[in-house]
Amino acid sequence: MTFIKKRGHWLTFLLMLAVVSGYSAADVYALDIGNLYSPLNDKRPFRPSTRYIILHTTEGSLDGSLRKVHRYGEAHYFVTPTGKVYRIIDRRRIATHTGRSMWNGKTTLDNMSIGIEVVGFHDKDITPAQYAALKELLRQLKRTYRIGDENILTHSMVAYGRPNRFHSQKHRGRKRCGMILSHPDVRKKLGLLAAPTRDPDVTAKRLVVADPDLHRFLYKPPRVLAALAASKDQQSMVIARGNNAWRIARDKYDSPHTLYVYPDGRKLRGSEIREWSNIPAGTRVTFLDEDREREQEFEGFLEIGKDGSTARDLAGDLYADATTIYFFPSGLIRTGAELNASASQRKQLNNPPKGTRVLVGYIYGGYVQKGRPASRIAGAKWNYPSTFYRLPNGRIMSGDEIGKTKIPTRTLIFMMK
């Protein structure tokens, strides 16, 4: 009897505590969370700081997306349609989820953010179970890292593209990933009050807008979410006037996983197309295998004579920039800024020989040499997934794949800008 009475007191006390601290039984949501750590988890370096949480939609099925995110360590958390949450990368370590990214002048946001993958599509509302799970996960992370609601962003807000055939400048609109999670109604349901009201990098003219529809959705959203369905009807997968390959596929336009079916029945992959201005109207675009594209893959070299005939064709307005690197057939390697600084070398910049290879949007670290190891060139970032190595045999490896002791001299180091 005394025991029961005592227990009753405790319950009353706990209940009172709950009332005082603003919790009621209805607010308590137990996160269904488990470990499914990526094989890359142990290799990933610890993040020096955590300023943002970036939200993603998988744009694919549960199984395929989970396999890919797990294999490449592309998120810290993964939220299934039934609200189950998996830990993929230890939240203190770096996950590769944003690729080429910028926010408020800071780049490569993987190094300062937590990434959450939500199974779903950028233009489709998430499930009630996902709302509940994501809300609780965000509540916990916001508290742990003291992150304000305005620093909870979507991948589509922070991804940006290097100059390409369709845009001569660095641009926003490379991805629509997570777009739905920026809508005020959705954010409200997730317990997020503040949100960015404008794109700081577009405002500061660091980037231009390459997807006006996305930009409008993010910063001047339709009043009701249902309006999205109407705008989706206009999103055609067929090449037509005003609907070019960029509008349809965005950063996947030249991917080997994007297939173009021409009106005459010819089929070409994005990576096989050379004449981008001659794609006939009526060509249908399909994505073959969305689950294959890695978030932080090395973007590769462009080549004079293959991808264009001038430096401007390949690098746009960045052709003379310090982040554009030229590999001449003679073996000479120089940045655009270096070439532009001397009158004799400017000739090579203005007329690069056929076969010259070009990297756009990377910081050039130079060669590994005796007494000049990778850790001296790249500092703590030597094994970041965003750091790339070109071995003397031509092979490209990321910081994820390379071991410190095995880096031979004459290896080149590039850091993603």
Nearer to Zn ion, 165 or 176 (CB): 176
**177 near Zn ion, rule: CB under 5 A:** yes
**Only segment of 82-90, 172-180, 257-265, 326-334 that touches Zn ion (CB under 5 A):** 172-180
Q: Could you tell me whether strands 208-209 and 171-172 are parallel, antiparallel, or unpaired per DSSP bridges?
A: parallel
Please list, in sequence order, all residues whose beta carbon lies within 8 angstroms of the beta carbon of residue 283, skipping any fewer than 6 positions away.
Answer: 238, 239, 260, 261, 262, 263
Q: What are phi and psi of 371, to 5 degrees?
A: 80, 0
Query: Which stretches of 146-190 are DSSP H helices?
Result: 155-158, 184-189
Nearer to Zn ion, 249 or 378 (CB): 249
Binding flags for Zn ion, 11-50, as an x/- string (CB under 5 A): ----------------------------------------
**252 near Zn ion, rule: CB under 5 A:** no
**Is residue 283 within 8 Å of residue 377, measured between CB atoms?**
no
**Only segment of 56-64, 69-77, 126-134, 239-247 that touches Zn ion (CB under 5 A):** 56-64
**314 near Zn ion, rule: CB under 5 A:** no
> For residue 118, what is the enclosing H or E element?
strand 113-118
Nearer to Zn ion, 157 or 325 (CB): 157
Nearer to Zn ion, 56 or 247 (CB): 56
92 DSSP β-pair partners: none
The CA distance from 253 to 260, in Å, is: 10
Min. distance of Cβ 411 from Zn ion in angstroms?
A: 30
Binding flags for Zn ion, 98-137, as an x/- string (CB under 5 A): ----------------------------------------
**Is residue 214 within 8 Å of residue 246, measured between CB atoms?**
no
Nearer to Zn ion, 283 or 386 (CB): 386
Min. distance of Cβ 61 from Zn ion in angstroms?
A: 16
Distances (CA, A) of 413 to 43, 365, 377, 385, 405: 19, 5, 8, 12, 15
**174 near Zn ion, rule: CB under 5 A:** no
CA 306 from centroid of its chain's CA atoms: 27
> Binders of Zn ion among 273-312, rule CB under 5 A?
none
**Only segment of 55-63, 186-194, 215-223, 368-376 that touches Zn ion (CB under 5 A):** 55-63
**Only segment of 3-11, 177-185, 240-248, 284-292 that touches Zn ion (CB under 5 A):** 177-185
The HSE-up count of residue 276 (CA atoms within 13 Å, CB side) is 16
Nearer to Zn ion, 172 or 334 (CB): 172
Nearer to Zn ion, 287 or 389 (CB): 287
- DSSP 3-state assignment of 283? coil
The CA distance from 205 to 64, in Å, is: 38
**Only segment of 22-30, 51-59, 214-222, 409-417 that touches Zn ion (CB under 5 A):** 51-59
Cα torsion at 290, 293, 296, 298 (round to 10°)? -150
> For residue 219, what is the enclosing H or E element?
helix 212-219
Cα torsion 381, 48, 112, 129: sign: positive
Nearer to Zn ion, 56 or 171 (CB): 56
Min. distance of Cβ 233 from Zn ion in angstroms?
A: 24
Min. distance of Cβ 408 from Zn ion in angstroms?
A: 35
Binding flags for Zn ion, 142-161, as an x/- string (CB under 5 A): -------------x------
Min. distance of Cβ 346 from Zn ion in angstroms?
A: 40
Min. distance of Cβ 370 from Zn ion in angstroms?
A: 41
**56 near Zn ion, rule: CB under 5 A:** yes
Here the tokens at position 344 are: 């004799």
Residue 178: which of 232, 115, 220 has the closest Cα? 115
Nearer to Zn ion, 56 or 167 (CB): 56
User: DSSP assignment, residue 110?
Assistant: G
Greatest alpha-carbon span in the chain: 97
Nearer to Zn ion, 211 or 321 (CB): 211
Residues binding Zn ion: number (CB under 5 A)? 3
User: DSSP assignment, residue 183?
Assistant: S
Nearer to Zn ion, 296 or 324 (CB): 296
Number of helices (H), then strands (E), in the chain = 13, 22
Q: Which residues bind Zn ion (CB under 5 A)?
A: 56, 155, 177
